[in-house]
Amino acid sequence: MLDKNKGVPIIKILIIEDDPELALILTNYLTKYDMEVIGAEDPYIGLSLLTQHDFDLIILDLTLPGMDGLEVIPKIREITNIPIIISSARDDITDKVIGMERGADDYMPKPYDPRELVTRIKTILRRTHTVDDPKKKEKEIFVADAKAHTISFKDHFLDLTAAEYDILSMLIQHKNGSVSREQLLYESEHIDDDSSIKNIDVMISRIRQKLAKIDPEHVYIKPIRGVGYLLTDRV
């Protein structure tokens, strides 16, 4: 994200941490380094925020109410591949190993100096290239043309039915955010009102097959359990 006033990249961070005092300290410190921070004390709220905002990195505590942080990691990975830094007072090496195996990118035992956290964040983002560079803007891999009623994927036009076009265009509009099956069903102009929710799953499967013919190595439409689907270009 680019700060239009300063002309420098803004790093957007999600902190899932149930210690409000620590979360405030980290937020105030990271803000000094062009980082925008959103905090969540509850892991379920944190997971919900991931479907509503585009983040560059997650700082995750392990001891959380309702769900252990190690269980949160695979749920994050169902939504996004952005880097995760574990921030935990638990010093068991097993936690570190399990966390990294489940998809975390780094592990910082508490207490630590916030300056080290800043360094770790910048190092990880340099490696993963998740911070927007205004001089090196990546081309969109999904492009929808509403007038022509076409969608291209990696410069290939997709052969879509009218209903499939409606579904994929809605997912593109909400890219990196979840869209419910009900929304896909009832906001489509080319799906009968009498159709069932299961028809959405069938059409999603067909769209996935068409994407896989162009890029068989990655899955771009991901299911969000109990909600619907999410389209991502982060692979």
Mean pLDDT of the chain: 87
**Shared-domain flag, residues 193 and 216:** yes
Domain end, chosen from 96, 128, 160, is at 128
- Per-residue confidence (pLDDT) for residue 58, from 0 to 100: 96
**Shared-domain flag, residues 92 and 168:** no
- pTM beyond cutoff 0.85: no
Distant-in-sequence, close-in-space partners of 25: CB < 8 Å, separation ≥ 6: 114
Distance CA 69, CA 217 (A): 29
Q: Hunting for tokens 């022509």 — which residue is that?
A: 148
pLDDT digits (tens, 9 = 90+) for 132-150: 444 444 568 999 888 888 9
pLDDT at 119 exceeding the cut of 70: yes
**Least confident stretch, 5-14, 23-32, 65-74:** 5-14
- Per-residue confidence (pLDDT) for residue 41, from 0 to 100: 93
Domain that holds residue 190: 142-231
Confidence bin at 116 (pLDDT 50/70/90): very high
Distance CA 221, CA 207 (A): 9
CATH code of the domain covering residue 23: 3.40.50.2300
**Shared-domain flag, residues 47 and 105:** yes
